[in-house]
Each structure stands twice: as structure tokens, then as C-alpha cells.
Structure 1
Amino acid sequence: MSSLPSLAAIRVFEAAARLENFSRAAEELGMSQAAVSYQIRTLEQALGVSLFRREKGRVMLSAEAADLSVQTSAAFATLRDAFDRLRDEDASQLTVNSFSSFANLWLGGRIGGFQLSHPDLAVRLTVEDRINDFARDDIDVAVRGGLGDWPGLHAQLLMRSLFAPMASPAYVADHGPFDTPEQIAAGRLLSPQDRWWATWFAAVGLTALPPPAPGIRFDSQSVEGSAALAGQGIALLNPVYWDEAVREGRLVQLFPATYSGSSLWVVCREHQRNQAKIKAFRDWAVAEAERGPWGEAVRAAPQLDDLHASILPGSGRSPLASKLA
């Protein structure tokens, strides 16, 4: 199988043949005229033919090179068209990845507004509960939970992860009251072995707890919240996700929310952080997080001592003393 000559030399030949001028070819390609002459000589040696005639200070295509010039220009035009189409397609489609709870309970109900404000952008939302590889999975931007310290990625704080015990009004009426952490601990906890229960009880000053009783373990907050809505017990939920259910009286938040020590971040590859479509989504998501009664609480910069802070909607941090009194 015959091999192509140097692609760099072919590129120089295409420009020089099209312009019939080595100086203008050098200017177009951003190189010196000497470098253009060198690449042409290299190509002529590889092919064993003269590609240009030099007459009176100018260069002209040789008869042997005329057909090659036409085909080379056509080939480069085809390549340019292919790359232009790829750039246009990439710029007109945004792929967002999220874990299921956030997608189902927050992002899914809002992302249509983003697309409506960017009608020329096709938006695709993928949902997976694993850490995705941006290159392998063809993702533009993702929402991740953690500390925001992923190598090679740019992470913009979206919101702090909060949690609070919640139950249906019927469950509270039948099994309450739940005015103290001890009373909550004695209730039917959903996912009782979840480590966040121990973290929440420690945050409100209750550390001497018996081993958790056997119970149902839910791997999805959306399913656990549905169980709480159905009156099956007390769930530890993110009040940002369930704000509407609380405001409508379908759930009761039994205690102020506590910062989990983790946060949600809008993440993309570092070199793509200023890409227009990614920046547009990031700015929109942050603005959405700042709206509503939880905006101040969820957008405050995470601090380590916030783990034991009690948070009420619209008030940022507030002490637990009044609740515990």
C-alpha cells in the first residue's frame, strides 16, 4: 500500500497552487516563505516530479501538477466542510448529565425553561448514578455531588446539600409528636441504616443512639420521599427538592435542615469552561438555585463548621437552641 506524502507538505502545496504565490501562501498559513519553499521541495522529491515552474520572479503550476491541484483543493474543501458541520452540530447540542435524585426532583422540572430561553440549542439530559467520563460518555456538562475537587475539571458551586427529617401529616398525627430529636429517633425511620441519619442526629446533639432497627432501605431519594408522602415513616430528605410538597402541606419538615458536608457542583472539562453553551447552562443553573426561599441557604459558600448548623428557608444559618428548648 502506497503512503501519502507529508500532510504538512500537501497543505502547503494546496495553498501555493491555489494562490500561485509562495509569499501569499506563507502569509495564509502563518509560516515563512523559506518554510513554504522547503515543503514544496520535500513534496517534489517524494513524488519525483516538478510541481512548479519558476518564471520571472513568480511561480506557476507545472502541467503535471495541474490536476493534482484541483483534487487537492477539493479534498481540503471536503475536510473543511466536515469540520464545519461538526462544529455547528456540537455548538447546537448540549448534553447534560445528572444523578437520578437531582434530575427527577429538581433539574427535570426546570430544564425546559433553559431550553426555551435558548431555542437554537438542543438539550439532552442523561441520568446515571455513577461518575461519568466526559470524553467516553460524550457529556458537555454534569451535576455532581462532592467537594468540587475533580482533577482536570472545572467545578462551579451550585448548591449545598441539605437534609431534614420529613413525614406526612397523617403519619405525624397518628404517631407524633416529633418535637425533639429523641422523639424522631423513636419513630419509624425510613432507610434507618443510612449514614446520614447518624450524621443528622449528631448535628442536633443526639449521639447515644441504639443500633438502627431493621427497615426498608431506599437507594433513591425520590422513592424514599414517595414512601414518606404515603405515610410509611420519617425520611431524611433534601428540603430544596421537597419544598413544594412542604408548602402544599403534603409533607411536614420536623426539624430545621442541616448541611450534609457535601455540595452539588456544575462540572465541565477545564478547557471547555468558557464554551458558550456550557457557560449559558452554568449561569442559568446557578441563577435557578438562587431563586426561591432556599436560595440564601443553599448558595452560601460551604464551610466545615456548617456541618452542625441548622438552616431554615430564607434565613441562612440559625441556631438549634429555640427548637431544642
Structure 2
Amino acid sequence: MGAGLPPLTTLRAFEAAARLNSFSRAAEDIHLTPSAISHQIKALEEYLGVRLFVRNGKRQVTLTREGAFLSQHVSAALTSMGEAADALRRGQRNRLTVSVLPSFAARWLMPRIGLFVDRHPGLDLTIRSTTAHADFLRDEVDLAIRFGTGQWPNLQAELFMHDALFPVCSPRLLRGKKARQISDLKDWAWLESDPEGWERWFAAADAALPRGKRRLDFGDASLALQAAIDGSGIALTRQSIAERELASGAVVRLFPAIAAASQYSYYFVWPAKATLTQNGVAFRDWLLAQIGPTDRGG
């Protein structure tokens, strides 16, 4: 053990108590008894010769000035050790776990993923489709693809792909009738997943947004597109979500000369203090090869 380093069991108990401001909750967090936590804290205080907590009643504790100083360094050290151990553990297995949005996974990634799997036959790939932000340590996620501004605390974000918004519908919906003017769009129900999408598209078209228009919010881009495929109305969709359906003719694009830049873009995301794994780098590079430099903004 290094010179001046207290027993690690006391530091683990101290970190939990400092984080939770309670010996009893710390005991639950690291599966010890409250008396064991109290004993470890007392041993650490005796070792350092300083008081680390002020007891506030039976359950609450508050860090002293010395305790706050120690907490800052212990928390950072334990986090660093945990990340290092996790990186080593992951490196021993040929695996990759990626977190993506359900709409992006279903409409853009899944039609392509077989190509990546064929190139890496020995890799165990897990795609986690969820709207929730990944907890990289708890969920053992190596890489995430997020749709947003690129600003997330404690995470490194690298631009993957821009996107564009435009209206589409099933050819059956038109029944031979063409939308010759933008005002003709009012004749059909509007399907959406982004409440501000239609406003952005009408602004790009330099046209007034109709008031009181019936709009069905699905909360998910893939669901809104599927409703358009089924003939339920006109969906304001993203290029990334609808490209396969446009190519197959399942939907047609209305006013193809007009598109609005999406408010958000796709980003590769991983912990700021972590190095992207070798498999993560391979997956990122493969995805970038699937798009053109224009889509990435390069």
C-alpha cells in the first residue's frame, strides 16, 4: 500500500456517506450495516487526525471543511479506478454495446447493420433501442448515438450526421389528386413527432402556417412515418427515417424542392474521460462510411 494511503475499505465507506449525507443510506448503498459504516468512518478520522463529519440527528451527516476536501479527491479517485477496471474488463471480451433511438434503429440502422456484422464475424454486437439516455457504466454501453445539440454534461460528442425535414404521404392518400400549392396540405391530417417541425418547414417554404390545423402527435418519428405509410395523413418526417420508404415508393415526398434543416443532428457519444474502445472506433468509422460528406456537414 502506498505511503499515506488509508485502508481502502474506509475510503469506500467515506465516499458513500459523503455522497448520500447519511450513514444509514451509505450502508444500504454498499451493503454494510450502519454500525460498520460508523466504525469505518471513525477509523478513517483517527487515521487522518481530523473530523470528517458533523452529525445532524440520527440519520443526517454533513461534511466538515476537511471532509469536503477529502471527498472531492476520493470521489474522483474511485471513479477513475472504476472506469479503468471497466475498460479492462470490456477489453477482454470481443463485444460492443451501442445505444440508439428506436426510430433511428428501426428505419436507418437495421437495414444496414448486416453489412457491419458480416465484416466482424467474431464480434458480439448488442443494439439497445431506447429513448432514455444511456448510463455508460451501469448499462455497460460502449457508444451511443444521440439526436440533439451535441451538448451533454460529462460526455464527449462527435458529429455523425445532419438531417432534414419534409412532408411525405402514401401514394394512395392522394388518389390522383396532387398537392399543387402548399395551401393544399390543409386537406389532409398532419402526422408529426416534433411539435415544432411543421413550423420550421413552413418557414423554409416562406409560407404561412394554417391556423387550427388537425395535427396528430405520435411522439416517435418511426410511428408517424408508419401512419403515413398506412394512409392516415401526411407525415413531416426526417430524411434519415424515411429514405428506405422513399426509395421503395411506400411514401412520396411532397414539394421536393423544399426542406427544412432539422433542429438537431445525430452525434456519437461516449464518456468524456474514457477512450472509445477499438470495437467502438470500428463501428463509428463504418457508420461514417455509410453517409456522404454533405450529410455530415463536411
- Which of the five TM-score ranges fits, normalised by the shorter chain? 0.5 to 0.7
Spell out, residue by residue over 1:255-277, the C-alpha distance to the aligned partner (whole angstroms, 9 max, x if none).
23321121001111233344311
Matching of residue 207 in structure 1 with residue 208 in structure 2: yes
1:236 matched to which residue of 2? 236
* Secondary structure of 1:136 counterpart: coil
Matches within 5 A, 1:159-170: 159-170=161-172
Q: What is the identity, as a one-letter code, of the residue corresponding to 1:104?
A: A
Matches within 5 A, 1:23-62: none
1:154 matched to which residue of 2? 156
* Secondary structure of 1:123 counterpart: strand
2:220 matched to which residue of 1? 220
2:181 matched to which residue of 1? 180
Contact 1:104/1:222, CA 8 A, preserved across alignment: yes
Q: What is the identity, as a one-letter code, of the residue corresponding to 2:97?
A: T
Report the Cα distance in structure 1 between the residues aligned to 2:194 and 2:144, rounded to whole angstroms: 29
Percent pairwise identity: 31
* Secondary structure of 2:225 counterpart: helix
- Unpaired segments ≥5 residues, structure 2: 5-84
Q: 1:83 to 1:170 in 2, by over 3 A?
A: closer
Bigger Rg over Cα:
1
Q: 1:8 to 1:108 in 2, by over 3 A?
A: farther
CA drift of 1:280 comes to 0.9
Report the Cα distance in structure 2 between the residues aligned to 1:299 and 1:286, rounded to whole angstroms: 8
Report the Cα distance in structure 2 between the residues aligned to 1:154 and 1:193, rounded to whole angstroms: 25
Give the number of the structure with larger relative contact order, counting CA–CA contacts within 8 Å between residues 6 or more apart.
2
CA RMSD of aligned residues (A): 2.7
1:89 matched to which residue of 2? 92
Matches within 5 A, 1:1-325: 6=1, 86-90=89-93, 92-173=94-175, 176-191=177-192, 194-213=195-214, 215-256=215-256, 257-290=259-292, 296=294, 298-301=295-298
**TM norm structure 1:** 0.60
Instruction: Tell me the matched-pair count.
Output: 216
Q: What is the identity, as a one-letter code, of the residue corresponding to 1:165?
A: P
Report the Cα distance in structure 2 between the residues aligned to 1:137 and 1:85, rounded to whole angstroms: 16
CA drift of 1:201 comes to 1.2
- Unpaired segments ≥5 residues, structure 1: 1-5, 10-81, 302-325
Runs of 4+ more than 3 Å apart: 6-9, 82-85, 87-90, 271-274
* Secondary structure of 1:240 counterpart: helix
* Secondary structure of 2:111 counterpart: coil
Q: What is the identity, as a one-letter code, of the residue corresponding to 1:270?
A: A
Q: 1:209 to 1:253 in 2, by over 3 A?
A: same
1:37 matched to which residue of 2? none
Q: 1:109 to 1:248 in 2, by over 3 A?
A: closer
